[in-house]
Each structure stands twice: as structure tokens, then as C-alpha cells.
Amino acid sequence: MIDLHMHSTFSDGTMTPTELVERAKDNGVEVMAITDHDNIDGLREGNIVATKLGITFINGIEISANYKNKDIHILGYFINLEDKEFTNWLKKLGEKRYTRTLKILQKLEKVGIKISIDEVKEEVRGNVIGRPHIAKIIIKKGYAFTMNEVFDRYLGDGKVAYIPKIGVDMVEVVERLKSNGAVISLAHPHLISHTDDTVVNIINILVEVGLDGLELYYPSINIKKKNRYLKIMKKKKLLLTGGSDFHGLNRAGVDIGLGDISVEVYKKMLVRKIENNAINSK
């Protein structure tokens, strides 16, 4: 069993990389990837613990991109941590996240919810600020009772305090990951808040610049959409990837290993990695 999508305290999860690996071991996971948002800071810790516990560990990341002012999430696997050009680019993404946070706080203040950037920083255990950190403070201040309520009323796509991640083009993200040597998958395409036809167009655009797969093993995907994307996957000769998208206490009802995904998925990704390397070395 594998799980190739989860988040630690280095982004918007509630477990450390060590705790994630230990939970994966307890849940019978043989291959795992930590895919924190826009950073790779927890990967070395996770790899060390996974090696000790006999789990195959993949260096992963989930990068937030933008297409027509809506969020697109792109997963990268087998990340080269020594790629300085890539890591410097990630630092710039972190600066954009910080700016976005300030804009979200300004919008919240306009609807009567005053939160300071220092309060948000106190909530963050890693180096990346995410909307769940702001959501926790909203709940603590009594403006909502659950994470779902916060996103439905304030922080979700199109809500009163929503700010899209402006300035990170999805094509640029794929190209950066490709130059790093990663195997690239479009995260949970069924959750992209564009029309179905636009999502198909997104896939077509990204395939042209190096997209390798679609994340179709996912807890909330319905069978109708999954079958539609499976047809596209086969036509475009894309990989099928998946994971739980585990965030710890920040996402109720989801656990590591959910979906019982076969190790064969990982093996096919590894073959694609080797094929990509051979093409790049020519």
C-alpha cells in the first residue's frame, strides 16, 4: 500500500514529518511521499525516519499555481533537494504566500474579523503560512465552529476573504518541476473550480510542457468524474497517482493509507522517472 499525498507541520498539517512516517508505518504503508505546500523543508527529516522504519520515501511537494484566477495544485515527486535554482524559486513562492496572507487579513477585517499577522505566525509551526492557520484563529475567536464552516463562509474559493494565488502560472510550475527532474501529477483535478471542459483544457496544456500524471486515487472523487479523467489519462498516456491528502486534525475523516493504493502505482512512477532521465540526458 502507498500514500503519495500528505502534509506536515511544515505547511498546513498538524503532524511533524516524523509523526507522519510513524503513522504511515502503523497503517501499513510501504511507500509514502510528504507533499507540503510550496516547500521541501520537512523532507530530510521524513526520509531519515522512513529509512529507519523500512518505508520507501519519495521526496514530494504540492505547488500552488494559478489559471484564470483560480487555484491549480501540482504535485512533484522524486524532487532533487540539491537543486539550488529550484530551492531559490521556492523561496520566492513563500514571499508571495506571505503577501497573500496580508491581503486575506485585510479582507477579513472589512467583515469585522480582526487578526494580526503576528497571531498567524504564532499558529504556524513550519515556514509556510496557509489558510488553515488563519482558519484556526477564526475558530478560536468564535466566528465559526469548524474548518469547513470557515472555508464555506470566509476563505474558500469566491468567498468574502478569498484571495487567489496570483503570479504563479501553472505552466511555469510544471516547467520548474520538469527541470528539477520530478515526475509531475495534477493534484485532485475533480476539485479544480473551473468547468469540466476547462479542466480538460488545463490537462491538455500541461501535457504539452511535461505533465506525467493525474491524481485520480483520492478520497472524495466520484466515479463519474474519475472515469472521465481515466479516459483522458489513457489517451494521453499519463500515469495514475494518488494519496489521502492527509492534514492531521485539519481534515476530519481522512487517514494515511486511505484508499489502499497498490504499490504498482509507485512502480510505474519509478519507470517514468527513469524514462524522463533518459530523455533529459540526450
What is the spatial distance between Cα 48 and Cα 29, in angstroms, rounded to a whole number? 16
Question: Taking residues 200-217, what's their average pLDDT?
Answer: 94
What is the spatial distance between Cα 43 and Cα 186, in angstroms, rounded to a whole number? 20
What is the spatial distance between Cα 184 and Cα 214, in angstroms, rounded to a whole number? 8
pLDDT value of residue 22 = 97
What does the pLDDT look like over 164-175, one tens digit per residue? 776 689 999 999
- Specify the domain boundaries for CATH 1.10.150.650 within the chain: 92-155
CATH fold of 92-155 reads: DNA polymerase; domain 1 (1.10.150)
What is the spatial distance between Cα 68 and Cα 118, in angstroms, rounded to a whole number? 31
Quote the mean pLDDT of the chain: 91
Give the global pTM. 0.85
Give which of 169, 159, 158 is closest to 96, Cα–Cα: 169
Is the pLDDT score of 264 beyond 90? yes
Question: Taking residues 91-110, what's their average pLDDT?
Answer: 90
Output the CATH code of domain 2-81+170-280.
3.20.20.140
- Specify the domain boundaries for CATH 3.20.20.140 within the chain: 2-81+170-280
Is the pLDDT score of 35 beyond 90? yes
Furthest-apart CA pair in the chain: how many Å?
Answer: 59
What does the pLDDT look like over 146-189, one tens digit per residue? 988 999 999 988 899 998 776 689 999 999 999 999 999 999 99
